[in-house]
Chain A
Amino acid sequence: MDRKVVVPGDLLSEDAKRSGEGTYIRNGSVYSLLYGLANFRDKINVIPLAGKYVPGPGDNVIGVVKDITFSNWIVDINSPYDGLLHISEYPKRIESDDMSKHLRIGSSIMTRVKDVDPTMKVELTLNDRKLGQIKAGQVIEISHTRVPRLIGKGGSMISMLKKELNCNIFVGQNGRIWIHGGAEDMDLALKTITLIEREAHTNGLTDRVVSFLKTEKGARS
């Protein structure tokens, strides 16, 4: 499999069946829609280098409550579109008047996109044991285009990080990442994630991260 940097409008293939994400078809040929890295597998996908997060159903995201209405919390999810968390999606039954007792303006939540309609109304939910308000640890922000690299193929990178860093990590598809652990571990986690963000578009990243962790840990003890 090979990869190539492409700009919008570059011809990628003459076989329309190979059109994947970030591409479009014109006259039976596949062209790039984005400035980014093209992956030539069965399907050709173009991964952008930049861009805004657009929510999709099932995405785990980290949001900050920015307003409260009669029955919804309006949540900033680092996207052009705000998320709506309805009162009924809170794990406990609560009254409309008590909403601000549970989640106040400024509260950070780990949440999931339940549904997105064609007008980009984004419905969120907290109904899962993994989800909920963030009360400890820290949240860092990276570009959402780097998230797939942070997770790795089949979650290989993230599970390695969790184990090696001795931290609890929640990755939001919107590029916000929650880490919780000892002070030193969190520092190292921060450094590692910054490294991954900076070098997300290079090869052999997992190996480099492993050796980076090894030297950092060696320096500590």
Chain B
Amino acid sequence: MIVMDETDITFFKDGLRLDGRRADQLRPVKIEVGVLARADGSCYIEMGGNKVIAAVYGPREVHPRHLQEVSRAIVRYRYNMASFSVEERKRPGPDRRSYELSKVSREALEPVILTSFFPRSVIDVFVEVLQADAGTRTAGINAAAVALADAGIPMKSMISSCAAGKVADTIVLDPMKEEDNFGQADLPIAMTPNGDITLIQMDGGLTTDEFHRAVEMAMKGARDIYEIQRQALLNKYCQLTEPGHVEAVVQ
């Protein structure tokens, strides 16, 4: 464990961050669709140092039965960190933090899912964090949204998620581990492409003005991520078309 005092770390060098990014720049994002054969829909995402896999099962029968809703599908979301995902071994299994993240992530996705199409069923979303580097909940939500689309589940829109933070009195997009641990604030959001926010959390302190700037910045980041999500889904489709050597554009 690295022990550092907040004061003896310089977050900016020549106007660039520790990893060479500008203040308003995302870490590189890579998305792969349909990586799991057993799941109905799946997605693997890398957001900087975060490596997250999401699997969607369902709609399927609800077990245990008493959770069943007569008029709609229920959504279950399990966020889990692998014991090897962080520097010091994480005790496996659910804890206070993962319960909370599961709940807020589920509530970030539920508004766009048309649960009324599948009464008495459940849509299970499993998110496994393989490697953590600050912003795992946003990576998890991004992966889960793509996996839901891949599973053919009707949704009003996609959900994209991104965080903004404050380090050394500067608002930055998509904080990495050092900035998250030793920064002044962290503000993850999730939203639809047209700007309806479905998740917003804040850790640390921001002035009203800083808050507005941070939300604005995170929303821009989420829009960029939306384009990557979309492209990943379109790419999967194009790969599917290859065996027949025919482009499905005009009939």
Q: Kindly state the separation between the CA atoms of A86 and B243 in the bound complex, as whole angstroms.
A: 45
Interface of A is mostly: loop
Residue in contact with B244 in the complex, picked from A9, A35, A202, CB distance below 8 Å: A202
* Contact between chains at A51 and B158 (CB < 8 Å): no
Interface size class of A (residues with CB under 8 A): 35 or more
- Interface residue? B130 (CB, 8 A): no
- Interface residue? A175 (CB, 8 A): no
Residues of B within 8 A of A119 (CB): 70-71, 119-120
The number of inter-chain residue pairs (CB within 8 angstroms) is 118
Residue in contact with A9 in the complex, picked from B114, B121, B156, CB distance below 8 Å: B156
Could you say which of B13-21, B44-52, B56-64, B162-170 contacts chain A? B56-64
* Contact between chains at A118 and B234 (CB < 8 Å): no
Q: Kindly state the separation between the CA atoms of A99 and B171 in the bound complex, as whole angstroms.
A: 71
- Interface residue? A164 (CB, 8 A): no
Residues of B within 8 A of A54 (CB): 117-118
* Contact between chains at B120 and A203 (CB < 8 Å): no
- Interface residue? A178 (CB, 8 A): no
Q: How far is the CB of B43 from chain A (nearest CB, A)?
A: 12
* Contact between chains at A7 and B248 (CB < 8 Å): no
Q: How far is the CB of B160 from chain A (nearest CB, A)?
A: 10
User: In B224-251, which residues have CB < 8 Å from any A CB?
Assistant: 229-230, 233-234, 237-238, 240-241, 243-244, 246, 248-251
Residues of A within 8 A of B251 (CB): 1-3, 203
Question: What 0/1 readout, one digit per residue, does chain A (92-129) give for beta carbons within 8 Å of chain B?
Answer: 00000000000000000000000000111000000000
- Interface residue? B82 (CB, 8 A): no
Question: What 0/1 readout, one digit per residue, does chain A (21-55) give for beta carbons within 8 Å of chain B?
Answer: 01010100001011111000000000011111010
Q: Kindly state the separation between the CA atoms of A82 and B120 in the bound complex, as whole angstroms.
A: 11
| 7 A-B pairs (CB sep. < 8 Å) | A2-B249, A3-B248, A5-B248, A7-B229, A8-B149, A9-B156, A35-B152
B residues with CB within 8 A of A: 40-41, 58-61, 70-71, 112, 114, 117-121, 149-158, 192-194, 229-230, 233-234, 237-238, 240-241, 243-244, 246, 248-251
